[in-house]
Amino acid sequence: MPSPVVTIRGVSKSYGAVMALRHVDLDIYAGEVFALLGPNGAGKTTLVEILEGYRGRSSGEVDVLGADPGRGDARWRSRLGIVLQNTTVFDFLSVEETVVHFAGFYPSPLDSGHVIDLVGLGDKRKARCSTLSGGQKRRVDLALGLVGNPDLVFLDEPTTGLDPEGRRQLWDVIRSFTALGKTVILTTHYLDEAEALANRVGIIIGGEIVDIGPPDEIGGESRFIATVSFRPDGALTERAIPPLDGELTRSGPHVSLRTATPTAAVATLIAWAADAGVAEIPALSVSHPSLEDTYLMMVAARGGTESTETGAAA
């Protein structure tokens, strides 16, 4: 594994009696896209703003690019690109004026025109920011986070509030600079976003990191339990279902089996059906729990509620 660019050890943060973060340990490695996934109020923004140096911590140790974020100097800041949760643009400046102005803060910025093209605002270069749509303003935010040519980019709910098409376009923008080898820390409450962009996902619920791993491995063993389902019709109705390894349930005409060995179960079923002269088992399917199923189970298990549909940031 490459060396960590972010190291978090035992970090807690309380606002009065409210514990926003509880003893968080986390390493984030150079070149990866790490997504922090969690319901609203889980502590995503608090954790990210501690890493960005905006907030202090109640206890624990943090190292970001070799410095404590609370004491980072201008040179350290010049290696970070920050896209905050709330869209903020300078209404009375044009897109180009804004990006060029911010580029001037950095020692070796990217070309402003190139960044404007990259975020898809090439035809809005001269437009005042006040005249842009919500999605276009969010692109300005992204441009400002990138123009300093940072080594580490923070994206706090970058696509919240955008329509599905706008979200997908923004994903392409994010992919185009993760391809440049930047380390990206992304917070989101959209599961598809985490799956589409991240190498690793950290699930944060109630201020605790409850699981970390690649999107298809989150949930550990529960993710390997598959469901084999089918509908015994015609000739199959008369025959008893053969012994199968797993937990069998029936609902109406459907039979489903929760099993750790779906391939063996399917092989047994094919032989059983062939015996009865049936070549195609009706409605046969094998499915694994999605990241969404796993995530919703985790949230529910901790007494949380989550609606992944809501677009508005709280």
Partner 1 sequence: MTSSSISMPSLTRLAWSRTIVDLKQFFRIPEQVFFTFLLPVLFLVLFSAVFSGDVDGPPGRSVKFVQYFLPGIIALGVASSTFANLAMSISTEQHEGLLKRLAGTPLPKSAFFAGRLTSSVIITVIQTAVLLAIGVLLFGIDLPDGPGRWLFFIYLLGISAALGSALGIAATRMVPNARAAGPIIQAPFLVLQFISGIFFQWNQLPSWLQWIATAFPLRWMAQGFRYAFLPDWFGETEYGSSWGWEIPTVALAAWMVISVVLALVFFRWTREGDRR
Chain residues that interact with partner 1, rule: CB under 8 A:
15, 41, 45-46, 52, 54, 74-75, 77-80, 82, 84, 86, 88, 90, 92-93, 97, 101-102, 104-108, 144, 148, 314
Instruction: Give the span between the Cα atoms of 291 and 306, in whole angstroms.
Output: 14
Instruction: Give the span between the Cα atoms of 140 and 135, in whole angstroms.
Output: 9
84 or 184: CB nearest partner 1: 84
**In the bound complex, what is the minimum distance in angstroms from residue 76's beta carbon to partner 1?**
8
124 or 236: CB nearest partner 1: 124
Instruction: Give the span between the Cα atoms of 72 and 83, in whole angstroms.
Output: 18
93 or 248: CB nearest partner 1: 93
41 or 304: CB nearest partner 1: 41
Backbone angles phi, psi at 58, to 5 degrees: -80, -35
DSSP string, 153-186: EEEESTTTT--HHHHHHHHHHHHHHHTTT-EEEE
Instruction: Give the span between the Cα atoms of 183 and 28, in whole angstroms.
Output: 8
Three-state secondary-structure class, residue 143:
helix
264 or 313: CB nearest partner 1: 313
**In the bound complex, what is the minimum distance in angstroms from residue 191's beta carbon to partner 1?**
22
For 192, 237, 293, the CA distances from 88, given in Å and listed in that order, are 25, 64, 34
**In the bound complex, what is the minimum distance in angstroms from residue 169's beta carbon to partner 1?**
22
90 or 224: CB nearest partner 1: 90
**In the bound complex, what is the minimum distance in angstroms from residue 103's beta carbon to partner 1?**
10
Nearest to 70 by CA among 86, 85, 84, 58: 58
101 or 125: CB nearest partner 1: 101
**In the bound complex, what is the minimum distance in angstroms from residue 36's beta carbon to partner 1?**
15
**In the bound complex, what is the minimum distance in angstroms from residue 210's beta carbon to partner 1?**
20
**In the bound complex, what is the minimum distance in angstroms from residue 34's beta carbon to partner 1?**
19
Instruction: Give the span between the Cα atoms of 201 and 217, in whole angstroms.
Output: 9
Both tokens of residue 169? 């376009």
